[in-house]
Amino acid sequence: MGPMDRTDYLASLRRDGDLLLTAAASGLDRPVPTCPGWTCERLVAHIGRTHRWTAGWVATGESPDVEPAPSGDAVVAWARTGLDELVAAIDALDPDALVDTWLDRQPALFWARRMAVETALHRVDAESAADAITPVATDLAVDAVDELFEVVLTFSGTGELPRTGQTIHLHATDPDLAEVEGAGEWLITVATEGLSVTHEHAKGDLAIRGPVSDLLLLLWNRGGTDGLQIFGDESILADWRTHVTV
């Protein structure tokens, strides 16, 4: 399994965006368990604003004004138009260019990756409202775990997570990953100066094994520990789930 490219990210973005809107449209008034206090209508409005804002930023390099989302059933079509605009804006980027982002200048692939991951996670949110969550695709889920540490936590931080040098080993058990050395394995060290991550098979103070989609959703506080094997100091996981709110 090789690295994802722009075509892969855009296909994921389109697929998960469509699934999100279909799932949410079947019950806009339903609460979203993974986003306490939100309904599906609010979730669709959020993803619609996110897609439209990002499309505007990609096109102009500046933070755009985004019109308020409509209420009721109209929000679904409004969000679908935003998804179309985002796919078109990313597809028009020079893949070799450096672009402005909220994390300084980055390769143009930054936006395709960020929006594919963001949309997949919110698709899970929409499905949680119907208690019918389907896994994040293996290739995207592996990349999304990397992106969490490379991009998201670099920007948002880890709150009051204790930093005592504790280590967490994540081991994805998906058959597709077993053939590639180091694929689907992360050793995370939570040190005073920040997080460091390596891809290796190693013993951690806490070890978690299971499908990579489940590992991703656990890290993002979108899923629990059902279906995962946990070894070692479980207080480290409790601290993560309390303090790392992404």
What is the pLDDT tens value at each position of the chain, 246 positions in all? 678 999 999 999 999 999 999 999 999 999 999 999 999 999 999 999 999 999 999 998 888 999 999 999 999 999 999 999 999 999 999 988 999 888 888 999 999 999 999 999 999 999 999 999 999 999 999 999 999 999 999 999 999 999 999 999 999 999 888 776 667 999 999 999 999 999 998 999 999 999 999 999 999 999 999 999 999 999 999 999 999 988
Query: Is residue 119 domain-shared with residue 25, that is, in the same domain?
Result: yes
- Based on the domain organization, do 144 and 82 belong to the same domain? no
Same domain, 37 and 113: yes
Same domain, yes or no, for 22 and 80?
Answer: yes
Contact 194, 150 (CB under 8 A): no
Residues 126 and 31 in one domain: yes
If asked whether residues 15 and 123 sit together in one domain, one would say: yes
Whether residues 117 and 10 fall in one domain: yes
Same domain, 130 and 149: no
**Structural domain of 220:** 140-243
- State both tokens at 87: 């796919």
With the C-alpha atoms ordered 227, 151, 35, 84, is the resulting torsion angle positive or negative?
negative
pLDDT given for residue 95 in this prediction: 82
CATH number of residue 101's parent domain: 1.20.120.450
Of 134, 161, 190, the position where a domain reaches its end is 134
Rounded-to-integer distance, Cα 241 and Cα 246, Å: 10
165-189 CB burial, b ≥16 within 10 A, e <16: ebbbbbbbbbeebeeeeebbbbbbb
**118 and 161 in a common domain:** no
206-210 sheet: strands from edge to edge: 194-198, 185-191, 166-172, 206-210, 229-232
Amino acid code (one letter) for 55? A
Decide if 228 contacts 170 (C-beta within 8 A): no
Full-model pTM: 0.96
CA gap 122, 127 in Å, rounded: 9
Within-domain flag for 1: no
What does DSSP say about strands 206-210 and 185-191: parallel, antiparallel, or unpaired?
A: unpaired
Identify the CATH number of the domain in which residue 151 sits.
3.30.1050.10
The verdict on 106 and 144 lying in the same domain is no
- Asked if residue 84 and residue 179 are part of one domain, the reply reads no
User: Can you give the pLDDT at residue 61?
Assistant: 82
Asked whether residue 65 is domain-assigned, the answer is yes
Residue given tokens 């394995």 in the structure block: 185
d(CA 183, CA 5): 17
What's the pLDDT at 182? Answer: 67
* Beta bridge partner(s), residue 210: 172
For 27, the 3-state DSSP assignment is coil
Domains in the chain, number = 2
Neighbours of 231 (CB within 10 A): 14
Q: Are residues 46 and 16 in the same domain?
A: yes
The DSSP symbol for 177 reads G
Tokens at 18, concatenated: 């469509």
Tokens standing for 238? 């409790």
